Every structure is written in structure tokens, then in C-alpha cells.
Amino acid sequence: MQRINPAGLPEPRGYSHATVASGRYVFLAGQTAQDSAGVVAGTLAEQFGRSLANLLTALAAAGGSTADLASLTIYVTDIVSYREQGSLLGEIWRRLAGVDYPAMAVVEVSALWDPSAMVEIQGIAVVP
């Protein structure tokens, strides 16, 4: 997996501009902060951590690891809150996924499938 961050583009913080990979593609469904009883209550940051953990569980079940993440789309219902909690979200990312970041986008949406979800993370991985 090669992370590409070309000169001339803004320095990325919490993402890479591009990812180059070869191998078996794994398409990861959007994951919310859901457990067997439903979406876990909590702050946006707490839901982010659970959503990311769920995504990484699905990735591991498909034979991949965090290093194989090529692209993520993070859907949030409150982009202002997401920005305000950026440092905390970065800490959660590093604890669960390490120091490498795939190509990423964060998109604000008016609602998610489960009305109590504030975050949904969808991804693509390439497993060697």
C-alpha cells in the first residue's frame, strides 16, 4: 500500500490524498456504532470509535488489517461537531487503526438509517 501526498496540495491531516494498492478488493459496508442491542448512545467521538471498531472487525473477518484500508467515507450528521472533536477523533483513530491514513472523505448528511446514529463509516480495502 502506497500513500501519495503530492507537493502542491495542502498537507494532509488525518487522511492521504491518494492510495495505490494491488490485491483483492474488500468493500466494507457502512458501519455505525451498533452492537447487538442497537446503536450505542454517546457522543459523536464515542460513536466514531465504535463505528470504526465495527468496520475493522468486518475487515479482519475478510482477512484484512488496518494497513489494507485504501479509502474511507465518513458520514456524519453534524460536521461542526466532527471538526470540533478532530483531535479526539485522531486519538481514537491512532488507538484503533494506527498512524497511517487512507484516502478519506467526511460528508455531512441530514440523517442516517438509524435515527440515533451520528456517524457511519464505509470503506474499501485491498488485501494482498
Domain membership of residue 12 (yes or no) is no
Checking if the pLDDT of 110 tops 90, the result is yes
Checking if the pLDDT of 56 tops 90, the result is yes
Q: In the prediction, which pLDDT does 116 show?
A: 93
Cross-strand pairs, 38: 35
| Alpha-carbon span 128 to 27, nearest angstrom | 14
Q: Report helix, strand or coil for 95.
A: helix
Question: CATH code at 82?
Answer: 3.30.1330.40
Do residues 75 and 120 make contact, with C-beta atoms less than 8 angstroms apart?
Answer: yes
C-alpha cell at 44: 459523536
Checking if the pLDDT of 1 tops 90, the result is no
Domain that holds residue 119: 26-127
How many structural domains compose the chain? Answer: 1
Q: Residue 54, Cβ neighbours under 10 Å: how many?
A: 20
Q: In the prediction, which pLDDT does 40 show?
A: 86
Domain membership of residue 2 (yes or no) is no
Q: Give the percent of the chain with pLDDT over 90.
A: 83
Q: In the prediction, which pLDDT does 55 show?
A: 97
Q: Report helix, strand or coil for 81.
A: helix
What is this structure's pTM?
Answer: 0.89
Domain membership of residue 6 (yes or no) is no
Domain membership of residue 11 (yes or no) is no
Write the pLDDT tens digit of every residue in 2-44: 899 999 999 988 889 998 889 999 999 999 999 888 888 889 9
Domain membership of residue 21 (yes or no) is no
Closest CA to 69 of 128, 6, 5: 128
Domain membership of residue 79 (yes or no) is yes
Q: Which amino acid is at 85?
A: Q
Q: Report helix, strand or coil for 59.
A: helix
